[in-house]
Chains A and B, each alone.
Chain A
Amino acid sequence: MKKLQVKDIVKIKKDIINQELILRQSKKINVIVHMGTCGIASGAQRILDTLLKKIAESKISKEIMISRTGCIGFCGREPMVTIEMSGQEPVIYQELNQEKILEIFEQHILRGQPLSSYALARGRQQQVKERIKQKRELPSEAITEKLIPGIEEIPFYRNQELRVLRNRGLIDPEKIEDYIARDGYKGMAQALTAMNPDEIISEVMTSGLRGRGGAGFPTGLKWQFTAREKSETKYVICNADEGDPGAYMNRSILEGDPHSVIEGMVIAAKAIGAHQGYIYCRAEYPLAIKILNKAIDQAKEWGLIGVDILGTGFDFDLKIYRGAGAFVCGEETALMRSIEGKRGVPRPRPPFPAKAGLWEKPTVLNNTETLANIPQIILNGSTWFASVGTEKSKGTKIFALTGDVNNVGLVEVPIGTTLETIIFNIGGGIPEGKKFKAAQIGGPSGGCIPSQHLNAPIDYETIKELGAIMGSGGLIVINEDKSAVDIARFFMDFCQEESCGKCTPCREGTKRLSEILNNIWEGKGKEGDIELLEKLANILKDTALCGLGQTAPNPVLTTIRYFREEYEAQIGGKKRHKKFTLYH
């Protein structure tokens, strides 16, 4: 493969789309199996094997194309398959198994009759807005089957705003061509040829993009600080050490659209003047690492990373670094120590990584989701990016909606969307007619938001006022059966286990807090325990060295703030709630 030039990107896009059209015209049917980790764990591989076998045996095998993509987002309904047939709308099938796929093969693939009973919807999630405007009838496609709802009628998809996840369920993550056909690497080409570092930084700054990993620091500002440092060597790091239990949006991006992250990193590198990047990915995500490795190899082969990218003279090399299972390594200074091959313990800031980061060189570290936003900001402009969101928090955020909620899955919405919309509209409410108790946002660093605040818009500031943090976007719904004390105990045990032990407030504080909470939970609570918890929690918040310790008290403090009577009842010996753990 010869190295690409800038003009090639546009040409390649056209060529690929043309080839695709020709291919599609020769193939009447495209069968897409959605294969993220969730899908594979639910049996997508067996579905794919069955389909491959059946198709190979059939008389029309030459007319059928079979492709695979990453996760389609509706994790609770996996495994899922989409069937596109010429002259028909695409049909998305859900909750498949061997029998169902065989039936679908006979009826839909061979006879062209969609099976409404197994279908979730018709249409593409990327076309929801268009379909609403056109009153569900896209001119190019005939309505397939009235019994199957249009995708815009499914609340889970109707109210999402797909930007970072715009390619989900659509492209094959192992084919760089698919990404380029969707305007991939165009933002990078623009940044490398038509913009200087100041212009890139200013575009990101005016977009209002803030860090999606938790704290919400303005990305453009972080880049500016690093760009101003004078140093021959600088680094760009992608934080893919998604350790918050209940959050998996980074995994989904890396598995489904890895090039968006790579492209974002090259743009960041150009902005700050770095030529080496690292993606620090947790070892618990083997499929993400495999797909990333392939994506990096392809990008190198095409000359989109490496030496003299697109003939612009800009060099950028990229490596994956596999984490080794330590939650604290999500903290930036700890993560950099870990890349250096040392114990991943944080260090005091300042100096901030912008000045002295990896190997004491100026370093920008961004979250995976933050970086995946970058190419589109460059391509579509900061005004486009800021067209959704709130005054201080622009753009969209992905939430991993799980727990006691009907529609489990990944949800991308404009920042400022209310909890109620996410849980009751997109999420379809609480199963089994139970009542909503609280939403746990932000994992072990976050807190529980109760029903009286369901109307609060989710943005960085509001969430903080309510006692939680946006965090990486884990959103776990908890129903009325579960105890607030048990939730607090669960997270404190987690933080205590994951505390690195370097600073005393965190090492000792999490231990004592966890002891008191366990005592209360086991009915051995004493009068004054609540006040002691509050006092200790506040000391820990003020004195811990890093984010892990400073935010560890949030689950305790929010549950005391909103469910104090449960603590009192528990200490008074009256257990009013069943355990947090309930089997459904």
Chain B
Amino acid sequence: MEDQMNKVLLQEFSSKQLIQLDEIIAKYRKEPGGLILLLEDAQDIIGYLPMIVLKKIAYETDIPLSQIYGVVTFYSFFTMKLRGRHTIQICLGTACYVKGGKENAQVIEKEYQVKPGETTLDRRFTYETVRCLGVCGLAPVMVVDGEVYGRVQPSKVIEILEKYK
């Protein structure tokens, strides 16, 4: 069972990633309540949390897979799908909604043919909508790979995104 799992993991991920994953598991396995922290760090390294990674974590930590799956699907921060090279987040909190965040979302959905939570076919962008990033003074807000763009007009959305290849 373990051998087979490791074989699949080695096909999918680099050995560097897997070593880091082992380190993370070792760091949190004994910590009470460490599961969410473990998953957050694991997603940072691998980019997403596919079933095989969840199985590996379950096997190593003795936490039931059902519980891990429950946690991963509960929190919006976790994703089980492969992600794009860049992540676009459109804020649809109240202030951004009032100021036109929805129009910006529509521009992206039309131009790149994606819906919230999806990744473009060329894996260039993963597109998400979020509820308030707390930068309401600059509404409407768009975030690309952690960089915040404020007062974004619909006509400027594509221009900003063209920088990200």
Contact = CB atoms under 8 A, between A and B. Distances in A.
Max chain A C-beta neighbours (<10 A), residue from B97, B99, B133? B97
A338 B94 CA distance: 25
Interface of A: 37-38, 40-42, 75-76, 78, 242-248, 251, 283-286, 321-327, 338-345, 359, 400, 402-404, 408-409, 440, 443, 474, 476, 478, 482, 490-491, 494, 497-498, 500, 580-584
A338 B97 contact: no
A322 B100 contact: no
B97 A580 contact: yes
Contacts of A75: 136-138
A42 B70 contact: no
Contacts of A408: 136-137
A243 B132 contact: yes
Interface in B82-139: 93-95, 97-103, 130-139
A177 B103 CA distance: 46
Given A42-B150, A342-B71, A584-B99, 8 more contacts: A41-B135, A41-B149, A284-B132, A326-B74, A326-B76, A497-B131, A581-B98, A583-B100
The CB with the most chain A CB atoms within 10 A, among B137, B146, B148, is that of B137
Contacts of A251: 134
Given A78-B137, A402-B136, A583-B103, A245 B94 contact: yes
Nearest to B41: A322
Interface of B: 32-37, 39-40, 67, 70-71, 74-78, 93-95, 97-103, 130-139, 141, 146, 148-150, 153-154
Nearest to A329: B75
Contacts of A78: 137-138
A244 B37 CA distance: 23
A42 B74 CA distance: 33
B137 A490 contact: no
B71 to A, nearest CB: 6
A313 B134 CA distance: 39
Given A42-B138, A325-B76, A245 B93 contact: yes
A322 B132 CA distance: 17
Contact of A245 (B77, B78, B132, B137): B132
Given A325-B76, A404-B98, A581-B102, A341 B137 contact: no
B74 A343 contact: yes
Contacts of B136: 75, 246, 248, 400, 402, 408, 474
A238 B103 CA distance: 36
Contacts of A580: 97-98
A286 B71 contact: no
Given A248-B135, A402-B136, A344 B93 contact: no
B124 to A, nearest CB: 23
20 contacts: A37-B148, A242-B134, A245-B94, A246-B93, A247-B132, A247-B134, A248-B134, A286-B146, A321-B37, A323-B77, A324-B36, A324-B40, A326-B74, A326-B75, A342-B71, A343-B71, A400-B136, A402-B137, A580-B98, A583-B153
B150 A245 contact: no
